[in-house]
Amino acid sequence: DTGVSQNPRHKITKRGQNVTFRCDPISEHNRLYWYRQTLGQGPEFLTYFQNEAQLEKSRLLSDRFSAERPKGSFSTLEIQRTEQGDSAMYLCASSLGLAYTDTQYFGPGTRLTVL
């Protein structure tokens, strides 16, 4: 078990461009979460999947953001028409999804810088 992986680790883009991040969860983990973390703050929840179903989306997730988990395995997070305020660390986490008190394991994150 290699843990949660995220790619790329760093992304620098110009304002207005689209970007896509990928997350590969721990195998056999049913739940997958996306969080965003800005400098000096704790992570903030964006959305989560139970297998391929997206079950909750935060109000932080504007129309420019879309997340998918097409086969219930890896997930992608796309940001369209990026803005400077999108600059942050995007974190993915996964959990077994079987227990009421499920533990989430985080990946190393993708740091996005929008110029």
> For binding to another protein (CB under 8 A), which residues are involved?
4, 6, 31, 33, 35, 40-45, 48, 56, 58, 91, 93, 95, 97-109, 111
CA distances from 26 to 36, 46, 53, 58, 83 (A): 19, 19, 17, 23, 31
Nearest distance, CB of residue 19 and another protein, angstroms: 18
**Strand ranges (DSSP E) for 25-68?**
31-37, 44-50, 53-57, 65-68
Nearest distance, CB of residue 106 and another protein, angstroms: 4
Nearest distance, CB of residue 66 and another protein, angstroms: 18
Nearest distance, CB of residue 1 and another protein, angstroms: 14
Which residue, 71 or 99, is less far from another protein as judged by CB?
99
Partners of 47 in beta bridges: 34, 57
Angle at 53 between CA 36 and CA 70, to 5 degrees: 85
Which residue, 41 or 62, is less far from another protein as judged by CB?
41
Cis peptide before 8 (omega within 30 of 0): yes
Which residue, 75 or 95, is less far from another protein as judged by CB?
95
Q: Are 56 and 49 in contact (CB under 8 A)?
A: no
Which residue, 29 or 82, is less far from another protein as judged by CB?
29
